[in-house]
Chains A and B, each alone.
Chain A
Amino acid sequence: MTANIIEVRNLTKVFGSVVAVDNVTFSIREKDFLILLGPSGCGKTTILRMIAGLEIPTAGEIHIKGRCVFSSDRGILVPAREREVGLVFQSYALWPHMTVFENIAFGLKVKHENSRTIETKVQDVIEYMQLGGLKGRYPQEMSGGQQQRVALARMLVSRPDILLMDEPLSNLDAKLRLEMRAEIKNIHAQTGATTVYVTHDQVEGQTMASDIAVINRGIIEQMAPPKTVYHRPANLFVADFIGSPTINLIEGRAVAQGNDGDGISITRGACTLTTAYRDIPSGLDVVAAIRPEHIMIVGEERANTLPGEVRTILPSGSETVLRVRHEDQMFSLLVRQEISLTPGQRIHMYLPPEHILVFDKETGDLMPL
């Protein structure tokens, strides 16, 4: 049975007059890997810290493994040290006055385990995290990647069922980050520990998560598996935040087509784009959106094409990003095959109807198909 291991209900946190987390409700199933994704200052770290017990919520309830650890209504507050969750900080928070061994052993000493058990457990985790030979070093004598491994080892040694990670990779360079991402995914697979991971890096979200919660201004905009978040973003914020280069947005008005077989069209100036949508009220102000990799370059004008002029070409190895100007708007295109274009060249962009998403302009929500 996959029960909810963490349940958060109506969680709110107010700092002074700023609402950092606004009435958030969600739950996490056992063994899940949930990523809290959002721009900086959106409240994601605050949510994580409230689960860990380091921040006291203003209102709401938190349950961990079926036990209520916080409830504003019932006056319950279980301190962080009794919640038995593992936490990795963005800064790693390794104690500079302790060696690697002492850092890792601390949690076991707190639990008064005997020194031989501590010795074996620490040794095991040191080998697992490939830290052999660094046992006697102090944190400041190690590289960022090694410090990160020590921080993970310190968390893992007590074998918590729940792992909380607060932007653990943000201080690493690009190459190490890729390596550690695989490492963390691996740890999750091997330990089976439920993981909540905070990041502002959407690539981390896409590659590691079983679920992503996109957070903005203290509320969860969408919580769904990565693919859904990418292909069916719940609203304009999610659509715009996820994906790089960012999604192309075209404002316009819905127009019902005469014959039944076609979907609703969007008009914008002289152009008309046909979509796969059928139930949009005619005359509604909408925003159409299409991912850069879904736009195709075609030779001649036809249905669902927009004319444009190539402004910038940004090749990056296997793929190329094109910036194309159509009227007063710039479009991003992601092209995987070889192209032979030059800036200034005029092209036609084909927007396949099945890849066009339509959002209600007023509410920003995705329209139902």
Chain B
Amino acid sequence: MSLLFGRVRNYIRRPHIVISLILLGILLIVVIFPFAKMVKDSFVWQFADLRLSRSAEPGGLTLFHWKRVFVSSLTRNILVGPLFNSVTTSLSVSICAMFIGSVLAWLVARTNLPFKKMIATVAVLPYVIPSYIHALAWLNLFKNDRIGGAAGVFQYLTGVSPPDWLSYGYLPIVVTLSIHYFPFTFLLVSAALTSIDSRLEESGEILGASRTHILRRITFPLVLPALLSSFILTFSRVLGTFGTPYFLGTPVRYYTLSTQIYSNIINRVPSVGYILAFVLIVISSVVIYINQRMIGKSKSFVTIAGKGFRVTETPLGRLTYPLLVIIALLFLASVVLPFLLILWQTLTLYPDDYSIRNLTLLFWIGEANTAFAEGEAGILRNPAILGAAWNSIKLALTASVLAGFLGIFIGYAVVKGRNTKLAFAVEQMSFLPYLVPGIAFGALYLALFSHRVGPLPALYGTFFLVALVCIAKNLPFTGRAGITSMLQIGSELEEASETLGARWTMRFRKIILPLSIQGAISGFILVFITVMRELSLIILLVTPETRTLTTMTFRYQEQGYTQFSSAISVLIIVIVVFGELMSRRMGAKGSV
């Protein structure tokens, strides 16, 4: 008995084991419990169901919600239509973004295109800006007056009301999201291209192959894994995007799974929302699993890469200037124009009048005036918006610092316990939030924390809950960063202090933390930016007390105060672009 006790004591005495166990506990609460609760709730009658069915008995078990989603007269509207829209938009966006991103990556990494450095820096900006801002800009440009509200610049200039298919639905969603996501492919493929030894291509050339032949037979197969990865990851991200399809789809009843989840939960049929979230999680998990499998198989491609080789540039010749013009237009459309449109919108007194006469700073610094926007003051002196700004910053700071620290601990537990089942469990579980699309993650938290469960209090409506969901969602990123930095530190540095008699707390404070903080700081900034522009994840969880800049944008846009939503968007853009430039200065690898 005492022997067993001694063994157990020796086992748990090792710090990384204790940390692993604590982390598993945390991950259980922030990931597994919400998921289990959500699935369970979908099988239980809710009070709200009394409206839908006479046989409802709140608290009792039922298959009602599953039947409603999968086999009922409503299935077409609830599931099939939105699922079809989700898949078609995601596929289209993935294809467009992959095409634009990979061509641009090849031009920057492998040709003699001028201004490459600058292009590479500007290319990530569309991705840094929150995706729904492109949607708002699109509305400012192409909105028609048929749905209600003010018309956009297009109608103002031409006098023609744009058709619905141009203003709303499939086309605008695909265009704006493609513009938002192509930098993602760009980053992945340029990384792959720069890691290919161009001697591989040169040896093809020596053997007498033509340039197009080399591109097709050598370069393309080598970057194929990166291309496929970017395709699949873009697909799963678009699948979980909420803001854009909400702004551009909902007005014409063009629903996707993400907006369908939102409206079901808002319209008090949460269980149906939960089931749709479940469907979304399953699709996203399968897609990411396929990606992991493919990366695992094609890893050998990456190891071919050597270091310190030179790159032979393909001369573009007469194509140089036409290509530069196309790239300039792309940036104009993806960065400059949206920003100007939004900025201009904030300065218009009446939303559909875009003339110089109509310009005003009312929505920035104006005092409360009952003539406009129901007497709300300009955003820089509006206590509600300043409160939201403070909430946003507080949220982003809390989430980035805590997720960053947890990431360091995850890295420590995983690297120190390498090859053990416990470390494997920690690594896998910290990756799980990656599989859950933003809006579905919000739904999970709503399911678990909307009322008391056992020792867990009802956290709905608290800042803590919003922070918790942001921390959990970012754990896969900070955890990966933590693992990478721990691998670089190497375990011997800690062991050296251990043999000199240092306790774990001292080892952590004096050795591990100072050495990993460098990598962690760029991680902090990346999480800060991500949370700063987060909408899908928190839209279901915020209440008036905990609202952030992004959710304020959403509310104002919903109510038709486009000047306010635009002004807040400008504020967000300024903050995230500033953060991105900061993180670049600190040597981070961009916010992928």
A106 touches B502 (CB 8 A): yes
Taking CB atoms, residues of chain A closer than 8 Å to B497 are 95, 106, 110
In Å, the complex CA distance between A85 and B501 comes to: 9
How far does the Cβ of B517 sit from chain A's closest Cβ, in whole Å? 9
Which candidate, A36-44, A72-80, A272-280, is the interface stretch facing chain B? A72-80
A-B contact pairs, 11 of them (CB 8 A): A15-B419, A52-B495, A53-B499, A54-B498, A75-B6, A77-B13, A81-B499, A91-B492, A97-B514, A110-B502, A154-B496
Q: Which residue of B lies closest to A80 (CB)?
A: B498
If A56-B10, A75-B9, A106-B510 touch, does A96 touch B499 (CB 8 Å cutoff)?
no
Minimal beta-carbon separation of A255 from chain B (angstroms): 53
Contact partners of A75 in chain B: CB under 8 A:
2-7, 9-10
Q: List the B side residues contacting A83 at CB < 8 Å.
A: 499
Minimum C-beta distance from B446 to chain A (A): 43
- Tell yes or no: B506 within 8 A of A by CB: yes
Cα distance A94–B497 in the bound complex, in angstroms? 10
Query: Which residues 224-276 in A have Cβ within 8 Å of B in the complex?
Result: none
**Residue A84 lies at the interface, judged by CB distance under 8 Å to chain B:** yes
- Which listed residue (A79, A89, A110, A158) contacts B492, Cβ 8 A? A89
> Which residues of chain B are within 8 angstroms of A173 by Cβ–Cβ distance?
none
Other A-B pairs, 16, CB within 8 Å; known A84-B501, A95-B515? A53-B499, A74-B3, A74-B6, A75-B2, A75-B5, A75-B10, A80-B495, A80-B499, A82-B501, A87-B495, A91-B492, A93-B490, A93-B493, A95-B511, A106-B510, A110-B497
Interface centre among A77, A80, A81, A86 (most CB of B within 10 A): A81
Cα A52 to Cα B497 in complex, Å, equals 12
Q: Assuming A75-B10, A77-B10, A77-B13, is B515 touching A97 (CB within 8 A)?
A: yes
Which residues in chain B, 86-141, are within 8 Å of chain A measured between CB atoms? none
In the bound assembly, the distance between CA atoms of A76 and B13 in angstroms comes to 12
- By a CB distance below 8 angstroms, the chain A residues around B490 are 91, 93
Decide if B503 is an interface residue (CB 8 Å cutoff).
yes
Instruction: Chain A residues near B13: list those with CB within 8 A.
Output: 77, 79
Is the beta-carbon distance between A106 and B5 smaller than 8 angstroms? no
Which residue on A lies nearest to B498, using beta carbons?
A80
Chain B nearest Cβ from A181, distance in angstroms: 22
| A16 close to chain B: CB less than 8 A | yes
| Contact between chains at B499 and A87 (CB < 8 Å) | yes
Q: Is the CB of B495 within 8 A of A89?
A: yes
- Is residue B456 contacting chain A, with contact meaning CB distance below 8 A? no
Write the nearest CB–CB distance from B571 to chain A, whole angstroms. Answer: 38
- Enumerate chain B residues within 8 angstroms of A97, measured Cβ to Cβ: 514-515
CB pair B3–A73 under 8 Å, yes or no, is yes
Any B CB within 8 A of the CB of A145: no
Q: Does A302 contact B (CB under 8 A)?
A: no
CB distance from B42 to the nearest CB of A (A): 41
Known interface pairs A75-B9, A75-B10, A85-B499; A93-B492 also in contact (CB < 8 Å): yes
Closest to B490 in A: A91
Shortest Cβ distance from residue B561 to the other chain A in the assembled complex, whole angstroms: 52
Q: Is B500 an interface residue (CB 8 A)?
A: yes
Q: How far is the CB of A160 from chain B (nearest CB, A)?
A: 9
Residues of A contacting B506 in the complex (Cβ-Cβ under 8 angstroms): 110
Cβ A89 vs Cβ B496 within 8 A: yes
A116 close to chain B: CB less than 8 A: no
Q: Is A353 an interface residue (CB 8 A)?
A: no
Bound: A83/B500 CA distance, A: 9
Closest to B14 in A: A56
Q: Name the distance in Å between A95's Cβ and chain B's nearest Cβ.
A: 6
Q: How far is the CA of A106 from the CA of B510 in the complex (A)?
A: 10
Known: A75-B7, A76-B6. Contact between A81 and B419, CB under 8 A?
Answer: no
Contact of A158 among B10, B14, B493, B500 (CB under 8 A): B500
The interface residues of chain A lying within 8 Å CB-to-CB of B492 are 89, 91, 93
Complex partner residue of A110 from B2, B7, B493, B501, CB under 8 angstroms: B501
**Would you give the shortest CB distance from B142 to chain A, in whole angstroms?**
55
Q: In the bound complex, how far is the Cα of B490 from the Cα of A240, in angstroms?
A: 35
CA distance A74 to B511 in the complex (A): 33
* Chain A residues with CB below 8 A from B2, complex form: 75
6 closest Cβ contacts across the A-B interface? A75-B6, A107-B500, A93-B492, A77-B10, A93-B496, A87-B499
Cα of A93 to Cα of B493 in the assembled complex, Å: 5
- Chain B residue nearest to A90 in the complex (CB): B492
Q: Judge if A175 is at the interface, Cβ distance under 8 Å.
A: no
Q: How far, in whole Å, are A84 and B501 apart by their CA atoms in the complex?
A: 7
Interface residues of B in 496-550 (CB under 8 A from A): 496-503, 506, 510-511, 514-515
CB under 8 Å from chain B, chain A span 88-147: 89, 91, 93-97, 106-107, 110-111
Q: Please tell me if the beta carbons of A107 and B515 are within 8 angstroms of each other in the complex.
A: no
Which residues does chain B contribute within 8 Å of A52, judged by CB atoms?
495, 499
A107 and B498 CA atoms in complex are apart in Å by 9
Using Cβ atoms and an 8 Å threshold, which residues of chain B touch A94?
Answer: 496
B1-52, CB < 8 A from A: 2-7, 9-10, 13-14
